[in-house]
Amino acid sequence: MSEMTGKTLARTRWSLRSMWASRKGRGVIYQVIMFAALFLLILILVSNVFYNMEQRGLKAGFGFLNRTAGFGIVQTLVSYNESSTYGRAFVVALLNTILVASIGVVLATMLGFTVGVMRLSPNWLVARVAAIYVETFRNIPLLLQILFWYVAILKPLPSPIDIFQQGESFALSFNNRGLVFATPLPQEGFSLVLWVLSVGVLGSIAWSWYARRRQLQKGDQLPVFWPCLAAIVGLPAIVFFLLGSPMDFAKPVMARFTYEGGSTVVIEFFALLWALVIYTAAFIAEIVRAGIQGIPYGQSEAAYSLGLKRTQTLKLVTIPQALRIIIPPLTSQYLNLTKNSSLAAAIAYPDLVSVFAGTALNQTGRAIEIMFMTLSVYLSLSLLTSFAMNLYQRRKQLVER
């Protein structure tokens, strides 16, 4: 028995020593130590949390998500009322976050690209304006900008009570409650319009693909913009009117204090969106400028000497190459914008942090569970964005043969 133990020990020592001697073996040992340390760290953190919760007589669990929330939310993309559950409130808040983040990303990209290109303009004034914009907005803390824009947007707008008589109905209004519009109620036959619209979109995609292929093969350019516009907008519109406008509108009506009915995009949404777009676009502009300047000037000169105009050179030669440099930092900005949208709580936009990590947390006292869910959401959103952008990046990657 003892002999065997001795033998095994000797063999172990021998094998450990031999493992240490080889580079690969050392690598394995490092990894094992590293993994053990990481595991230990997580174990300590988790046990610490549970220990402290137990000390304070708190129990963990997600059962509270099925309880009635009881509070109201000012803007809901899906149906919600006070008797809905906390789980439902979570979904409502999540959708509000996604709404402002997704529209913000699109607008910030458009504004950022425009300003980035403006900064490189040979026109002195245009370049200066862009430079001043960038230097101003990326150097002021975002929270201050959000609060500033909120008051700046809110103050000059009139109250509904100032513009409408009691009992008066209206189709569209932008007042200090938000963008108020008549709720469209699709009637019978409207689905046909939607079908025509999707056919128009698919047809447009096919047409532009064909036009591109033909240009590559034969060199002549087919019109793309106008035919596509006609297919996407014109065709459904004609069908819509031929069917006799199968759409009703539930108009908001002015009551004693404010309007009743209709649909509202709250004013806080616009303030938050505006602030996020202005702020993030300043960073994107610099990324775009860096990307374009990272392309050797010879490329542009070659394009000019082929007779391309400046805009064509940018669109066809410089930007496609610059995209490879632009996309990775651009992804970071998208992630930043999404995470920065959590500052919404300051101006009462009902996002995830404000509603779920705010009101729901306060009412239930479930700090650990709610913060865990909130953190997971931001992590998932970020990972999804990264994933999508990495796919795009791979498509734009320089294919070396």
Partner 1 sequence: MNQESLIRKLRGLFVFFAVGLGGALLLSQTALALGGSSGGGGDYGNTLKEVKDKGYVQCGVSQGLPGFSNPDDAGNWSGLDVEFCRAVATAIFNDPDKVQYSPLSAKVRFESLRSGEIDVLARNTTWTFDRDVALGLEFVGVNYYDGQGFMVRKNLGVNSSSELNNVSVCTNTGTTTELNAADFFRANKLKYKIVAFEKADEVVAAYDAGRCDVYTTDRSGLAAQRTKLSNPREHKVLPEIISKEPLGPVVRQGDEQWADIVRWVLNAIIIAEELELTSANIASHKDSDNPKIRRFVGSEGEFATALGLDDNAWAYNIVAKVGNYSEIYERTVGPKTPLGLSRGDNALWTKGGILYAPPMR
74: contact with partner 1 by CB under 8 A: yes
**Of 221, 196, 195, the residue nearest 207 (C-alpha):** 221
Site string for partner 1, 201-240 (x = CB under 8 A): ----------------------------------------
Q: What are phi and psi of 172, to 5 degrees?
A: -155, 135
16: contact with partner 1 by CB under 8 A: no
147: contact with partner 1 by CB under 8 A: yes
CA–CA distance, 398 with 156 (Å, rounded to integer): 50
**Of 95, 276, 259, the residue nearest 178 (C-alpha):** 259
- From candidates 85, 102, 208, 258, binder to partner 1 by CB under 8 A: 258
Q: Residue ranges of the alpha helices (H) in 243-318? A: 267-293, 297-305, 310-312
98/361 with CB nearer partner 1: 361
Enumerate long-range contacts of 156-164, CB under 8 Å, 24 or more apart: 157/267, 159/258, 160/254, 160/258, 160/259, 161/254, 161/257, 161/258, 164/254, 164/259
Determine the residue type at 1. Answer: M
107/266 with CB nearer partner 1: 266
**Of 87, 112, 115, 170, the residue nearest 364 (C-alpha):** 87
What residues between 342 and 401 interact with partner 1 by CB under 8 A?
Answer: 345-348, 350, 354, 358-359, 361-363, 365, 367
279/349 with CB nearer partner 1: 349
Least Å distance, CB 279 to partner 1, is 19
Q: Are 327 and 392 in contact (CB under 8 A)?
A: yes
33: contact with partner 1 by CB under 8 A: yes
Least Å distance, CB 100 to partner 1, is 16
110/375 with CB nearer partner 1: 375
**Of 66, 151, 197, the residue nearest 346 (C-alpha):** 151
Give the DSSP per-residue string, 161-202: HHH--TT-B-SEEEETTEEEEPEEEE-TTHHHHHHHHHHHHH
Site string for partner 1, 149-168 (x = CB under 8 A): -xx--xx---x-x-------
Q: Applying CB under 8 A, what is the total number of residues that bind partner 1? A: 53
Least Å distance, CB 256 to partner 1, is 7
CA–CA distance, 181 with 259 (Å, rounded to integer): 11
Which residues in 102-133 are b (16+ Cβ under 10 Å) and which e? eebbebbbebbbebbbbbeeeeeeeeeebeeb
Binding segment for partner 1 among 64-72, 132-140, 305-313, 320-328 (CB under 8 A)? 64-72
57: contact with partner 1 by CB under 8 A: yes
Can you say whether the dihedral through the CA atoms of 268, 272, 278, 284 is positive or negative?
negative
- From candidates 52, 183, 221, 312, binder to partner 1 by CB under 8 A: 52
273: contact with partner 1 by CB under 8 A: no
41: contact with partner 1 by CB under 8 A: yes
Binding positions for partner 1, rule: CB under 8 A: 30, 33-34, 36-38, 40-41, 44, 48, 51-52, 55-58, 70-74, 82, 147, 150-151, 154-155, 159, 161, 176-177, 255-260, 266-268, 345-348, 350, 354, 358-359, 361-363, 365, 367
